[in-house]
Amino acid sequence: MTTSTFNPSTSTNGRTQPAPAQPQKTLRTGMLGIVTAASVAACSAFGGKAAEEPAYNVVIEDGDFQVRDYDGYAIAETMVSPPFDAATRTGFGRLVRYISGANSGRRKIQMTAPVEMEPRGEKIQMTAPVVMSPAEYSGASQGPALAGAAMDSWRMAFVLPEGYTAENSPVPSNPAVMVRDVPPRRVASVRFGGFMSDRNAERERKRLVDWLDDRGIEHQSDWRVAGYNPPWTIPPLRRNEVLVTLR
């Protein structure tokens, strides 16, 4: 898979800075953070790839960190209650049922990657996509964190395959699932291996905050956790990410 090349340059203060990479459109493949039995044949404990990802251009690449320009895409999402592990199981089940035919046309939709989780800081009616992400909560100085007692709910979302929109996607049978469009946007990410957990994600969120602050890059504090591998993948080979939208 072709990605842009990182060529570091040294600034006057001695800090190594990433040079902008030549943007290259990529349609990457990966594995969902949790998968159904039907997808076992396509999975590998050694990081095998199977699921389509939304297309993006890599603008900056610096070790574990990237800045990407994403095209618009559609997601199916749902709101779930903490703790993190229970929220992933509940949300994933709802969304898998939707793409497996629990919708107005009884249509089956191909699974894509990543699965995203976003924490929410206020009680709201359950709705739907697959991404886990946090919302702002009381006392946050830099926007919501990804772990802690302030998490009232999580939003989990699946990215739908290319060509699907909120208008042409089948209507979910479960009112707790909703389909919506995500507009094109610039996103920063940090990649990490090991097991996916809210505490690990919060550790990486802080790394990404420091990386962005060092470069004077402003963000929207809409932190999200993305997982790409089945649970039996060897931990060092897993691909997890924390992402945030840039201003």
Q: How far is CA 93 from the centre of its chain?
A: 17
pLDDT, tens only, 61-107: 999 999 999 999 999 999 988 888 888 889 989 998 998 888 887 88
Those residues whose C-beta lies under 8 Å from the C-beta of residue 64, and which sit 6 or more positions away, are 190, 191, 192, 207
pLDDT recorded at residue 144: 62
As a whole number of angstroms, the distance between CA 244 and CA 223 comes to 5
Beta bridge partners of 219: 246
**CATH 3.20.80.10 domain range(s) in the chain:** 73-182
pLDDT, tens only, 22-72: 444 444 433 333 333 233 323 445 455 546 788 899 999 999 999 999 999
pLDDT recorded at residue 150: 62
As a whole number of angstroms, the distance between CA 178 and CA 125 comes to 11
Which of 131-135, 171-175, 223-227 is predicted least confidently? 131-135
| Mean pLDDT, rounded, for 153-167 | 90
| Mean pLDDT, rounded, for 169-184 | 95
Residue with tokens 């990215």: 159
Task: List, as one string, the DSSP characters of the chain.
Answer: ---PPP--EE-TTS-EEPPPPPP-EE--EE--SS--GGGGGG--TT----EE---EEEEEEETTEEEEEEPPEEEEEEEEPSSHHHHHHHHHHHHHHHHTT-BTT------BS-EEEEEESS-------S-BB----TT-SSS--SSSTT--EEEEEEEPPTT--TTTSPPBSSTTEEEEEE--EEEEEEEE-S---HHHHHHHHHHHHHHHHHTT--B----EEEE-S-TTS-GGG--EEEEEEB-
Q: Looking at this protein, which amino acid is placed at residue 129?
A: P
Residue with tokens 């800090």: 15
| Mean pLDDT, rounded, for 188-204 | 92
As a whole number of angstroms, the distance between CA 31 and CA 99 comes to 16
End-to-end CA distance of the chain: give it in Å, rounded: 28
Of 3.40.640.10, 3.40.50.1100, 3.30.300.10, 3.20.80.10, the CATH number of 73-182 is 3.20.80.10
pLDDT, tens only, 100-150: 888 887 888 877 777 777 765 432 222 222 467 654 333 333 456 786 656
In this predicted structure, the answer to whether residue 191 has a pLDDT above a threshold of 90 is yes
pLDDT recorded at residue 38: 30
Q: How far is CA 175 from the centre of its chain?
A: 23
Which of 1-5, 35-39, 235-239 is predicted least confidently? 35-39
In this predicted structure, the answer to whether residue 168 has a pLDDT above a threshold of 70 is yes
pLDDT recorded at residue 28: 42
pLDDT recorded at residue 147: 67
**Stated pTM of the model:** 0.71
Confidence of residue 218 (pLDDT cuts 50, 70, 90): very high
Which of 149-153, 160-164, 177-181 is predicted least confidently? 149-153
| Mean pLDDT, rounded, for 197-211 | 94
